[in-house]
Chains A and B, each alone.
Chain A
Amino acid sequence: MNWLIAILQTLLFVALAPLLAGWLKWCKCYLQNRKAPSLFQPYRDLLKLTHKQPVVAEQASWLFVTAPYIIFSATILAASVIPLIAVDLPTSASADVIVMVGFFAFARFFLALAGLDIGTAFGGMGSSREMTISSLAEPAMLMAVFTLTMTASTTNLSGAIAHVLNSGLVLRPSFVFALFALILVAVAETGRVPVDNPSTHLELTMIHEAMILEYSGRHLALIEWASQLKLMIYGVLIANIFFPWGIAETFTAQALGYGLLAIMGKLGLLAIFLSIAETLVAKMRLFRVQEYLGFAYLLGLLGMLSHIILEASR
């Protein structure tokens, strides 16, 4: 039963990711006085891409063709360990939060290799920048996550969220710091403004897009879907770790229904905040990113230290 729910929840995760992307685009268009495409446009795009014939560069090796599948399944695995509508998932036990960060690293490793495989300057540029940014973002992310895991004294995400849920509404200074650190990291890792702009193909600023420039057809669909999934994963992490209320603790239909509504509401709100931020903030220069991520790391560190100094039980 638990396993079934875990699998269903993962499928739901995968299915909802394009919707979140559509909603985000819709909010942004609305804020920028543009006419928004339908909420379901990302689904149509994905469907269209899967029906097209993929064109692969002559230079490409097997790695280029396999990478999308690897990236997509690694991202799905990362999604499967995160409680979306219910806690107490068996999948959270098979891979804890450190493994989840490892899945992201796995996907990124192959994405960067795929960027280098074609042997164009764009791919190399994207890979180099992506690896730089992610290697700065990863410690900040782990710092924020460690604050959570040390508070809950478990690295199991289900367990940690259940701990936060059961301890009621407590204002922990460490969590405030960790929340902001995680938000900054999430923006950097999912390639949003101000670190990267997903909607341009301007060579000076491209990061993520530069790596996937050569992809087309179903390969592009998988990568696009994986990045939508990644956005949703970070959204769910922020929503469910810091505001876990509403998530189902028992596997009854009613609780699960409420859980689904709650997470959709939370993600909808987060997307609105993100789109407001994206509308207000301009993109940074590449070499300002380290200050931005350094700040995120500092916030994570402050969160950790305030946990150790203020909150630990001695």
Chain B
Amino acid sequence: MILVSAYCAVLLSFASGLLALLMNQQHILLTLSQYAVKKCFNDAGHRQDWLNKYLEERHYPAFLRLAVFILLGLSGVFAVLAGLAVLITQSVITDQIALGLPWLPWHVRFDCLSGFFYLIIGIGVCAVSLYGPGYVHSNKEKDHPFAVLGLFTGLFVSGMLLVLLADDAFFFMIAWELMSVASYFLVAFQHEKSANRRAAFLYLLMAEVGALSIILGFGVLASFSDGFTFDALRASSLSTTWASIAFVLALLGFGMKAGIVPVHVWLPEAHPVAPSHISALMSGVMLKVALYGLIRFCFDLLGDVHWQWGVVLLILGTLSALGGILYAMMQTNLKRLLAYSSVENIGIIFMVLGLSMIFMANGHPQLAALGFLAALFHAFNHALFKNLLFLGAGIIHHQTHELNIDMLGGLIKRMPKTSLLFLVGCMSISSLPLFNGFVSEWLAFQTALQVDVLDNGVLRSLIPVSAAALALTAALAAACFVKVFGLIFLGQARSRNSGKAHEVHDKGMLAGPALLAGLCFFIGIFPGVIIHLINNVSSQLLGATLPDDSTLGWLWLAPVSAHQASYSAPLVLIGALIAAGICYGYLRRNPLTVMRRAETWDCGFGGLTPRMQYSSSAFTMPLRRIFASVWIIDEQIYKDTQGAMNQDVAAVHYQLHIEDHSWPRLYRPIACGVNSLSKQVGRIQTGNIRTYLGYSFATLLLLLWVIS
């Protein structure tokens, strides 16, 4: 039953993709339906009308779009149901599908870990399919055909779901490639701009390099076992060296997809150019699938983890978290900023996963379960709020045609509902108490503070330092999202487009983000719901649960022991409501002191203009100066002078260009190397038939010599 709904989720998303193909087949459908109706019914009158109404020129595209997204949404619902069912029953379901290679049918396995990620995907897909119909409505069919978008969205979602079901390396890689390639077409959807094509190519290139690395990782495992099924891979016993090689390959492959520094460069390029609901899926959900791959590979297939791997993950995670948020801070394109912030969050997840590995390898499985819990919980939370923020960015773009946050402003009055939803997203991602982001960060700190149980002195001093880096990351994230919300929604409009914006009319476009925002708040108040589910995952995968799961009530969150640390969000919420309620009621009792509106104080000069407000680069200037060496900053100020002796400044031009260090340091050398290597190889291609005959002759001689 559970497996059936899991299959249903895959099939429905696949079907939604296929249905989208009918976008341009309207006339064929029309004739077919007329034919069918004539054949089957004698009095075809009103049935014909009913069908024609949907197949009519005007209604057909909207109707089909709706149908495609309904199918997608159903797939999401089935995914949520299947995920919840397997998590609650804690079962492991295996199956085989007679597809694929003749001697290797597709092995399917649906366990708690897959179920948890199924849940993440399901929620993301549900929100996106509520949002989608309104968002794609304004796309011009000629430039951006819906058939392409719908087909690849469906394939992309089914690819992601299949990755989670895979129980052999072949099936896994097929599903993985389906996911990667389908998402390539989605990134390249708006292909009329060359920058978008370039971003899409970069994405494809990195996805394929990553996939190669994963294949090699599986290859290392497979060479020590008799088969490609995960069961055989699990049974293999590797020496430490080979296991570490497999780990590094998997880390490179899955890390490339997840976007850890320094292999993160595709994220800030690809996310901004994809349609917003697709970037929501890619950032909120696909990165989690990569995380799933890494967890499956390390904790399940490789079996016994080494603490050195944990240290690698911890350091990479810390670098990604800090680097991601510092780069995010400097962006002016909202979606680019969100993409960098995904790098940060993935970094946090890797950090905590590293801690979990360290505790696991040092023989503290319960603390490992705590770290695992924090990592998966943060993955879940990130899926919620990053999805929400990307959908919000989509609404902003849809209404103002603007993604540059220096061109927005004052939207809180013109788009009150969107602003509230976006505020919830910003608060969650800044890990403020009462919201879900805080709970996972709190758990991460609690994990890091358990360092006293370790024997290794280096680890014991390394982990607190990374905890402090986590604190810095959280504080910078708060600063970054104050900037985002403050510049987009508050103040005065900085451009005409944002001055004329109005709230979206489509209810679905608000319902999708509202679902996510509601979950962000609900999970923030009652984190126990998800923690119970993750505890089931870790009991199945790690064989250990939280140290003290008896205290896991709906009211209290005490992961280690009630004596050591506890947090009760419902009580905090009640306290906050009481405190705010009392002072609100008390202070506003006097009718004489009712609020009065007046002009903003302008220092007596008059004429406050929107250009006097702080801009994005002004807001981040102190941090840019403090952490100057993190970026490559190209800041230029030109002055147009006029008048006698060029003394008067007529205008000042300011240019700021900020670049990632990884391009000149890592990627350009590689690109140059590949280029020059291919030039060297190109030398043997002289274009002369005699030379080629010579090559054939030499090869023939060589082969004959080898054979004899």
Contacts and interface: CB of A to CB of B under 8 A. Distances in A.
A301 interface: yes
Nearest to B578: A73
B30 interface: no
B575 A77 contact: yes
B614 A59 contact: no
B319 to A, nearest CB: 16
Nearest to B587: A218
A32 interface: no
Contacts of B571: 94-95
Interface in B454-479: 455, 457, 460-461, 464-465, 467-469, 471-472, 474-476, 478-479
Binding site secondary structure of chain A: helix
Interface in B577-594: 579-580, 583-584, 587-588, 590, 592-594
A117 B449 CA distance: 38
A214 B412 contact: no
A58 B468 contact: no
Interface string A88-112: 0001011110110011011011001
A139 B438 CA distance: 16
A110 B416 CA distance: 17
Contacts of B621: 128
Interface residues of B, number: 84
A136 B626 contact: yes
B580 A73 contact: yes
A99 B580 contact: no
Given A96-B566, A134-B475, A287-B625, A59 B596 contact: no
B678 interface: no
A57 interface: yes
Contacts of B584: 69
B491 A135 contact: no
Binding site secondary structure of chain B: helix
Given A77-B572, A121-B613, A142 B593 contact: no
Contacts of B464: 143, 146, 150, 301, 304, 308
A136 B625 CA distance: 13
B383 to A, nearest CB: 22
Given A61-B490, A120-B613, A132 B622 contact: yes
Contacts of A176: none
Contacts of B442: 98-99, 102
Interface of A: 50-59, 61-63, 65, 69-70, 72-74, 76-77, 80, 91, 93-96, 98-99, 102-103, 105-106, 108-109, 112-113, 115-121, 123-125, 127-129, 131-132, 134-139, 142-143, 146, 149-150, 153-156, 159, 213-214, 217-218, 221-222, 286-287, 290, 297, 300-301, 304-305, 308-309, 312, 314
Given A59-B491, A132-B622, A312-B452, 10 more contacts: A61-B412, A61-B413, A74-B576, A98-B445, A116-B491, A132-B623, A155-B449, A218-B587, A222-B583, A304-B461
24 contacts: A57-B597, A57-B599, A63-B490, A70-B580, A73-B580, A93-B566, A94-B568, A98-B442, A105-B430, A109-B430, A119-B613, A120-B600, A124-B613, A124-B618, A128-B619, A129-B622, A136-B475, A146-B468, A155-B564, A155-B565, A213-B601, A218-B588, A304-B461, A312-B452
